[in-house]
Amino acid sequence: GGGQVGAGLAIYLKTRSKKLKTLTRDSLPIGILGVGEPMMYAITLPLGKPFITACLGAGFGGVLSAIFKLGTISQGVSGVFGLLIVQTGNWLPYVIAMLGAYAGGFVLTWFFGVDHDRIEEIYGE
């Protein structure tokens, strides 16, 4: 989910399509809360490259999670609501890992994932 948020932010800042900007703007807060499906199914997956860069970007958060040996007390969502299930005392490393996923998705999408021709083909100007 973190990679999707980062990718969505990069798309939002780079796109010229008003429709895509609106979709992305509306999906970002939901993604930050931990639900990545609106961003994934409405934006990154139809465009192709941003989906891949978002997934790769999420790997940055995964690496940080492994380094910090993060664990949860149950299964659930990620994002802000993920703080509710992270083991006690691991909130700061969790936030750092999520920010790493956001940053990874953003940077990879910014440099490799935004294809303006594809955006215009799917969403129009």
**Rounded to an integer, what is the distance from CA 121 to the centroid of its chain?**
23
Each residue's pLDDT tens digit, 43-64: 999 999 999 999 999 999 999 9
pLDDT in tens, the chain (125 residues): 999 999 999 999 999 999 999 999 999 999 999 999 999 999 999 999 999 999 999 999 999 999 999 999 999 888 999 999 999 999 999 999 999 999 999 999 999 999 999 999 999 87
Question: Which of 79-105 are b and which e, b meaning 16 or more Cβ less than 10 Å from the residue's Cβ?
Answer: beebeeebeeebeebbeebbebbbbbb
Tell me the two tokens of residue 70.
Answer: 């993060």
- pLDDT of 118: 94
Beta bridge partners of 86: 72
Integer Cα distance of 78 and 97 in angstroms: 11
Integer Cα distance of 101 and 22 in angstroms: 23
- pLDDT of 55: 97
Positive or negative: CA dihedral 34, 6, 109, 121:
positive
- pLDDT of 76: 87
pTM of the model: 0.93
